[in-house]
Amino acid sequence: MTAFNVVRFRLKPGREVEFVDIHRTMKADLPGLRQFSLVKTGESTYCVIGEWDSQQSLIDARPAMIGNLDRLRPLLEDLGNGLGVTDPVSGEAVLQLRP
């Protein structure tokens, strides 16, 4: 079953170009990764959306994703409410509609 991960970020002022550039250099050939998107959601806010072959593929890729996050940490602001610098969620798709 297809799985997705979504991670929300808020950037420190003036760090947008560096943030996007780091994403451009990240490996996108992780086993099971179908698609990766970086989405600008507001003035200094972004989220990433990963589509995976399975929940297990996503789980297996977590060490690589944490390594990527470690490169980004200096650019990120704490989201507050005990979240830290990211707000990650993931799970299996229960419905997918295509036109």
**7-56 per-position pLDDT tens digit:** 999 999 999 999 999 999 988 889 999 999 999 999 999 999 999 999 99
pLDDT tens-digit profile of 61-81? 999 999 999 999 999 999 999
Q: What is the pLDDT of residue 27?
A: 81
Phi and psi of 46, rounded to 5°?
Answer: -140, 165
Query: How far, in Å, CA of 56 to CA of 33, rounded?
Result: 11
Q: How many CA atoms lie within 13 A of 27 on its CB side?
A: 12
**In the prediction, which pLDDT does 78 show?**
97
Alpha-carbon distance of 15 to 33, in angstroms, equals 27
pLDDT confidence of residue 66: 93
Please tell me the predicted confidence (pLDDT) of residue 1. Answer: 86
CA angle 65, 70, 71 (to 5 degrees): 100
| Residue position matching structure tokens 């980004």 | 72
pTM of the complete model beyond 0.85:
yes
